[in-house]
């Protein structure tokens, strides 16, 4: 056997071994690990398809899934998040500000005010807001919800003080079904 053929055989064997390790490391479908990985990947693809459509990763995905859109990945991301809520890994709560925050610019100021403990949570939370609403929906780990509630109360007080010249207002909190 020639040296070139031996090298090729070793390379093929290593590729086969790497594929086997990758294939068998996949978490069981329906498990928390499966949905965490699925939510992360679908969310990343939804973002990349909109923000960086010419990135190599997106182009390769389009090669294998030519009809999938950013919206499709967004729906898949949401399905994984809902599954994680059902499994108890995440919790979803709606925080309704008593002071309206109707503009996109105002919502961006809310998002910029998110405390550092949330920013370093590496994708374990999601914020959903509607530009024409004063509700903020948080999907996060249950142990972080008290901190999110405190953040929402404090920010609502700040908005109230700004809107009323020093007068503060309360905040209504509720579960995922509470949307005004």
User: What is the separation of C-alpha 86 from the centre of its chain, rounded to a whole number of angstroms?
Assistant: 16
Identify the CATH number of the domain in which residue 171 sits: 3.30.1370
Claim to verify: residue 153 and residue 109 sit in the same structural domain: yes
Full-model pTM: 0.65
> Which tens digit of pLDDT belongs to each residue from 95-104?
888 876 656 6
Torsion of CA 95, 142, 84, 153, to 10 degrees: 10
Tell me whether residue 180 is in a domain: no
| The dihedral sign for the CA sequence 138, 141, 147, 149 | positive
Tell me whether residue 48 is in a domain: yes
> Which tens digit of pLDDT belongs to each residue from 107-164?
677 777 776 666 544 556 777 776 677 788 888 888 888 888 888 888 788 777 776 6
Give the count of domains, the chain. Answer: 2
Neighbour-count burial of 122, counting CB atoms closer than 10 A to its CB (0-12 exposed, 13-18 middle, 19+ buried): exposed
Claim to verify: residue 18 and residue 95 sit in the same structural domain: no
Residue whose C-alpha is closest to residue 83's, from 121, 29, 44: 29
Claim to verify: residue 66 and residue 94 sit in the same structural domain: no
Strand ranges across the sheet with 135-140: 125-129, 135-140, 91-97, 171-175
| Percentage with pLDDT > 90 across the chain | 11
**pLDDT at residue 172, as a whole number:** 43
Neighbour count for residue 119 (Cβ, 10 Å): 9
Specify the pairing of strand 135-140 against strand 125-129: antiparallel
Claim to verify: residue 105 and residue 76 sit in the same structural domain: no
The last residue of one of the domains, among 85, 106, 135, is: 85
Claim to verify: residue 62 and residue 101 sit in the same structural domain: no
């Amino acid at each position: 056997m020639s040296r070139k053929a031996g090298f090729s055989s070793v390379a093929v064997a290593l590729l086969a071994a790497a594929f086997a390790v990758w294939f068998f490391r996949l978490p069981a479908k329906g498990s928390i690990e499966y949905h965490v990985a699925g939510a992360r990947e679908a969310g990343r693809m939804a973002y990349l398809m909109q923000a960086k459509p010419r990135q190599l990763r997106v182009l390769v995905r389009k090669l294998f899934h030519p009809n999938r859109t950013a919206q499709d990945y967004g729906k898949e991301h949401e399905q994984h998040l809902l599954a994680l809520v059902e499994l108890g890994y995440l919790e979803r709560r709606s925080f309704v500000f008593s002071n309206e925050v109707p503009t996109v610019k105002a919502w961006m100021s809310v998002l910029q005010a998110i405390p550092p403990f949330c920013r370093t949570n590496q994708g374990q939370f999601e914020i959903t807001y509607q530009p024409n609403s004063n509700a903020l929906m948080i999907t996060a780990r249950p142990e972080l919800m008290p901190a999110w509630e405190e953040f929402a109360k404090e920010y609502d007080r700040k908005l109230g003080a700004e809107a009323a010249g020093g007068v503060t207002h309360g905040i209504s909190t509720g579960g995922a079904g509470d949307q005004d």
